[in-house]
Structure 1
């Protein structure tokens, strides 16, 4: 094997240092048996680990006895030779070299496996996805800081900045309860069909764009043209039915052109209706480096592995989206359907999630959108200072009352708020209690 991948002399020298001076035995914890390419050096290393664990001295006699018990045929002279070729002051460089060789070997092996898969015609995106998952924890150096001093400094830097989250939902209730859209966090928006989960996601997206942030929107329910048309509706107030019919006046055309021009100028929106796997999402993220990813919706994504178990497949997709938040240090919002079995009950906890409760558990924050049943409207009318009939009349005019529920917030409390949802404008408007009528 190439000297770039293996250095048996370094392996021997490291072990010789431990035999010469047991005060260096703590260095055994900084390496693993995988760092040793030679069967004899690996056996000696494992024997030293066992002696240290048993509280015994790591000397020539004890190591030789351990090897004998393992039926490793090594002469005592081999161990003596180890102590003669090493320099204890170089043990730090030995550790560094052992790690470097191990990482080189690991990458070479993974590259070879990946090359074989590519040459055999396996799906390219899945091959890349699997390669990333297998190698993301292999480092040339230990650059990840997990000591309390480094973490404390990171927290101080954030607090001194005065604003840990640099992205807001742009919806007062959500920003007050959750605090904002944080890097490394997964937020789930869930609702039954036609209650407005896509509309709420688009409203959040447009608010994020106003902050100069880049958004990747993955849609598996609608075409990219439909999603853009919904954005135009939210920005212009021209309802989607009017745009679809083509019955648009001159002033409305002018407004649409202006909005599209602004969107093109900023180039912060990316809408994709072809991506259907997490592997493809990761590939697109590497290309455009968005600040926020929105997936509409998770049950329509294709799992990376066919597990013949829908619950496990959906759980796997959710877990992979959660990993994206950490691997790319970004925010992800996933949309989800709710179980029909909940009927008209207000959704709370994990039970309402369709097909997998992992959607709830993987998420840092969970938002439910719920349309109150007619039986619950009395309570809503009383809190809002309206009559039940006026709420029902508003619904007939296309403006329905909904509850936006923060069912889970890792850093806050669970709350809900009444909103008016205008279906023609695809817009949510927060309602204040005891304020009478609402117009959206």
Structure 2
């Protein structure tokens, strides 16, 4: 914008408020950084001071404050401000002033980004800082449409729309309790190592693909090839052990080829084992625009700035993932390890989370996978109505009884149910009892 035009807009806003004191509340929408003209800035400060002191804002009171502070502002300058004042269009002018500030701030951050890159700073770190600063700039202008009328319109549109706003986990306990995977929601799946976190996440991913939804799977625990083989195992029943050792018979080959063909044709699954930072995840989301993001697992992400405490580092990862659900309007599933101190006790609340309780508190939904021991195991055997001998025999064949526990659901109740976990198939099957 031409500098003279920008000054005229600043003058018009201030002049309008001086002419119509009932509009002095508009000063609350403004701040000092918005004014480029030094005279307008000083007059704005005086007007803010008068409003704070609950003194009428007019030519006389503004001139009195100028004299009191011995400011080098001539009466002709104040008159010029008044001349540009008008009793309409102030909201439009304020909007322009905010946009001008945003442009200047973005331009400054672009310059800092280029300077950082040119001076040899880590590119990912430069981008991370840039994105955070840009988000802060844009977040400052997120107060529009927050009145009840606007919100009510959105709710009515939502209720009247026939479009599906979410999609299913494909696991009846989670769908009936949580309702499904919804935009803006962070779901945490947590368990001890080797209990089936990744298997459950992959089951949800494959179920999402059946619904035509695209998933980005960030793996920090396995290679993309290993994750893909697990998908093949879930679809075909051919164990990953056999695939790794290449002990595959003709019928297995046929199943594998067909499964790979279906996955390639749909092309709805993206598996990345190289991404390990929040900024890199954001970049990949912008590139492929997934319907669902899964991070396996949150404690294995890498921080882009040093933090003294591990707890703060992991809390930052979780908070950033929660922010992503809102920034990109998608559901996100983060996997998490549990503390070893829980031993064989049934997990509940935020205490079991490894490194940071923020993982629990940031989440809309928390699902624990609990391998049953002791009295929990005995109770489960009784619930399903099978003999302990038969259950023990199944365990010997790699079929375990586990509990899926919905420990937190912001929109519903908490529940748990017994499941069979088929280790060779990497598959969870709900038990009817």
Using the size of structure 1 for normalisation, the TM-score is 0.93
CA distance 1:38–1:4, change in 2 (3 Å): closer
5+ long unaligned stretches in structure 1: 434-440
Q: Deviations over 1:4-29 (max 9, x none)?
A: 69822321232122112213323323
Shift of 1:173: 0.7
For residues 168 and 347 of structure 2, the distance between their equivalents in structure 1, rounded to whole angstroms, comes to 25
Change (3 A) 1:399 1:76: same
Cross-structure match for 2:291: 291
Residues of 2 paired with 1:314 and 1:155: CA distance? 34
**Structure 2 partner of 1:61:** 60
Stretch deviating more after TM superposition (77-86 or 326-335): 77-86
- Per the alignment, residue 405 of structure 1 pairs with 405
Structure 1 residues 211, 41: closer, same or farther in 2, change over 3 A?
same
Query: How big is each residue's C-alpha offset from its partner over 1:293-352, in whole Å with a ceiling of 9 and x where there is no partner?
Result: 000001110012210210000000111111110100001000000000001100000000
User: Given the superposition, is the C-alpha separation of residues 191 and 92 from structure 1 closer, same or farther in structure 2, using an over 3 Å criterion?
Assistant: closer
Given the superposition, is the C-alpha separation of residues 70 and 109 from structure 1 closer, same or farther in structure 2, using an over 3 Å criterion? farther
Q: CA RMSD in A?
A: 2.1
Distance 1:429 1:76 in 2: 81
Moved beyond 6 Å, runs of 4+: 140-143
- Asked if 2 retains the 8 angstrom alpha-carbon contact of 1:5 and 1:101, the reply is no
Question: What SS does the aligned partner of 1:122 have?
Answer: coil
Following the alignment from structure 1 to structure 2, what is the Cα–Cα distance between the partners of residues 142 and 395?
54
The within-5 A match list for 1:132-171 is 132-139=131-138, 144-161=144-161, 165-171=165-171
1:68 deviates by 5.0
Question: C-alpha separation between the residues in 2 aligned to 1:80 and 1:108?
Answer: 33
Match of 2:305 in 1: 305
1:266 aligns with 2:266: yes
Q: Which residue of 1 aligns with 2:99?
A: 100
Count of matched residue pairs: 432
Aligned partner of 2:29 in structure 1 is 30
Structure 2 vs 1, CA of residues 52 and 205 (structure 1 numbering), >3 Å: closer, same or farther? same
Any conservation in 2 of the 1:234–1:425 contact (CA below 8 Å)? Answer: yes
CA distance, structure 2, for counterparts of residue 58 and residue 380 of structure 1: 74
- What is the aligned partner in structure 1 of residue 417 from structure 2? 417
- CA spacing shift, 1:214–1:10, aligned 2, 3 Å: same
Measure, in 1, the Cα distance between the counterparts of 2:136 and 2:152: 23
In structure 2, stretches of 5+ residues that fail to align are none
Q: Distance in 2 between matches of 1:4 and 1:421?
A: 68
Displacement of 1:54 in angstroms is 3.0
What is the aligned partner in structure 1 of residue 363 from structure 2? 363
**Correspondence for 1:437:** none
Alignment match, 1:343? 343
Query: 1:249/1:418 Cα in 2 relative to 1: closer, same or farther (>3 Å)?
Result: same
Answering whether residue 143 of structure 2 is matched by residue 128 of structure 1, we say no
Q: State the shift of 1:195 in Å.
A: 0.3
Provide Cα deviations, 1:51-109, integer angstroms capped at 9, x if missing partner.
22332200123223444555644344432332124344443443233223222212211
2:199 corresponds to 1:213:
no
- Distance change >3 Å, CA 130–CA 151, structure 1 → 2: same
* Structure 2 counterpart of 1:181: 181
CA positional deviation for 1:36: 0.6
Alignment partner, residue 238 of structure 1: 238
Contact 1:364 1:410 in 2 (8 A): yes
SS in 2 for 1:106: helix
Name the CA distance, whole Å, in 2 between partners of 1:390 and 1:282: 48
Q: Distance in 2 between matches of 1:85 and 1:216?
A: 54
Q: Aligned with 1:303: secondary structure?
A: coil
**Corresponding residue of 2:90:** 91
Matched, 1:7 2:6: yes
Choose 110-119 or 76-85, whichever is displaced more.
76-85
Shift of 1:287: 0.5
Q: Aligned equivalents of 1:177 and 1:422: distance in 2?
A: 23
Compared CA separation, residues 5 and 368, structure 1 to 2 (3 A): farther
Contact 1:299/1:337 (<8 A) preserved: yes
The alignment partner of 2:321 has SS state of helix
1:373 is displaced (CA, Å) by 1.0
**2:78 — aligned with what?**
79
Instruction: Return the alpha-carbon distance in structure 2 between the equivalents of residues 234 and 5 of structure 1.
Output: 67
